[in-house]
Amino acid sequence: MKQGLSLRVSQHLALTPQLQQSIRLLQLSTLELSQEVEQMLDENPFLERTAEEAPREEFGLEAADAPVRDEDRQAEGEADFVPGPAAAPAEVAVAANGDAEAAAPADSEPDWEGDGTVDLAPDDSEWGGDAPARANNLGDDERTDATELARSQESLQSFLHRQALSLRLDENDCAALRFLIESLNDDGYLEDSLPALASGLAGDDNDQFDELVHHFQVALGLLQSLEPAGVGARSLGECLTIQLRQLASAKESEEEAQVRKTAIAICKQPMELLARRDFKRLATLTRSNEDEVRAALQLIARLEPKPGRRFVDVERNIVVPDVIVTRIGHGTNAKFRVMLNPEVMPRLRVHDIYAGALKQHKGEGSQALSQRLQEARWFIKNIQQRFDTILRVSNAIVERQKSYFVHGELAMRPLVLREIADELGLHESTISRVTTAKYMATPYGTVELKYFFGSALGTETGGNASSTAVRALIKQFVSAEDVRKPLSDSQVSEMLKEQGIECARRTVAKYREALRIAPANLRKAL
């Protein structure tokens, strides 16, 4: 074995911390970016938020990484991330903060724009401990955001406990009812059986087990008599039966009573027959005619299969558009203006006083602080690069899908990520990150950027049709069908062929399921 020394030249990609941060910020959604900005503001003392739009000297992205010059006494190298001028709202300007006192004087009125916070001027008069505090005069109601309002609803358990207060029960029955209420799931069903609940409390004590089962049976009857109707059921059939029994009234006619009786009998049958609307089979099992079964199914369709649905604290997904597209002109001369949403663009800058103090005082620990200062500049630069990339991709999408903005989704063209990537000189994965969880406000509603990308289906003329347009056409066919004779997947496929689009029956079924459209047998009206 002989040892040797050789030279070799190779190239490899090194993911620097700055590049990693840029990639991570690019794939974040608007809400996630807001959380990232808040976290960075808490961790980095050199980064601060600004709400004013004072005129400042603009400079390019390269200056974000430039070192602070010694002759620059006012820290002109610190970056300020603000929206561009009104004439070009799609641009984002990075400006230098020349004079802190001129930009935000101490005696100026507070700026209430933006997120409702006061931007304190970083001058010497307010830096000391004797500086007067500026109070936020907004009331509690005005500060309450939409998320807090959405989560302020009453839960199902609280609603049932409040009703149980009006019942005169002894201590054991009251405890059993409270235990059953807490054992309900989000839909209002009691998933565990009464013996299973009793065995979990009693253990091996048989006497206590029998006593608990007795109290649970009494409590279950009381629970099922509370509102909403059907709560405390152990199956779908029992839930519907409870609601049907509560519909009984003294003013009910004989015909209505017979229909309700038939509906109760249907609920005792397997739910698969009800889902398939097998009228003949249900009529035989319930000893009724098909007309009574149809009327009973209409009555069942008005019931609530999930009594606890309106009490569920569902996580609200707030969609905030990153890009806004507006129409300019009408007809064939219509043009579309693409601009970034100024409400989602954070206004950040490097703190002037901290940066100036670090520049003038070089001592112990200055290297770590310089690193934090550089991180703040990187963060501002990467945020601007994120919005610039989103704007470039959005402009390319609008240019290629102009027919959609004029005529709607039926005019959508086939488009893949590689086409936009080749046009902009970016990687396909970058386009995928940009179009994920980013939304565009269009004249036809707010949609995700990925919505404009779709595969191509062949046509008789040799052209291509977008899968998005085909799905819209299928939705249009189904909405215009006769509810007594709904269209099957084969019929829809034939109708698409008449339009010159080659689409197989299986493809129609896949698109129909993606649109959440039921099969023909379930769409048939009673």
Task: Give the pLDDT score at 483.
Answer: 82
Task: Give the pLDDT score at 464.
Answer: 81
CB-based contacts of 440-443 (< 8 A; 24+ apart in sequence): 440/321, 440/322, 440/323, 440/324, 440/325, 440/394, 440/397, 441/321, 441/323, 441/324, 441/325, 441/341, 442/325, 442/404, 442/405, 443/325, 443/326, 443/327, 443/405
Mean pLDDT for all residues in the chain: 78
Domains: count for the chain: 4
Of 3-7, 40-44, 99-103, least confident by mean pLDDT is 99-103
Question: Quick check: helix, strand or coil at residue 445?
Answer: strand
Residue 408 domain-assigned (yes or no): yes
Alpha carbons 213 and 196: distance in angstroms, whole number: 9
Percent of the chain with pLDDT over 90: 24
294-319 residue pLDDT tens: 888 889 988 999 998 888 765 566 78
Residue 134 domain-assigned (yes or no): no
Residues 408 and 484 in one domain: yes
Residues 386 and 426 in one domain: no
| Model confidence band, residue 430 (pLDDT cutoffs 50, 70, 90) | very high
Query: What's the domain range around 91?
Result: 16-101+322-403
Residues 252 and 330 in one domain: no
Residue 264 domain-assigned (yes or no): yes
CATH number assigned to the domain comprising residue 492: 1.10.10.60
392-410 residue pLDDT tens: 999 999 999 988 888 888 8
For residue 513, give the amino acid letter. Answer: E
What's the whole-model pTM score? 0.59
Task: Give the pLDDT score at 450.
Answer: 92
In degrees, to the nearest 5, what angle opens at C-alpha 405 toward C-alphas 511 and 409? 15
Residue 10 domain-assigned (yes or no): no
Residue 3 domain-assigned (yes or no): no
10-32 residue pLDDT tens: 876 677 887 888 888 888 888 88
Residues 396 and 411 in one domain: no
Among residues 380, 403, 426, the one where a domain terminates is: 403
| Model confidence band, residue 145 (pLDDT cutoffs 50, 70, 90) | low
Closest CA to 432 of 442, 422, 418, 446: 418
Which helix (H) or strand (E) segment is 197 a member of?
helix 194-202
Task: Give the pLDDT score at 340.
Answer: 93
In degrees, to the nearest 5, what angle opens at C-alpha 20 toward C-alphas 19 and 24? 115
Task: Give the pLDDT score at 96.
Answer: 34
31-89 residue pLDDT tens: 888 889 999 889 888 888 876 543 333 333 333 444 444 444 343 333 343 333 333 43
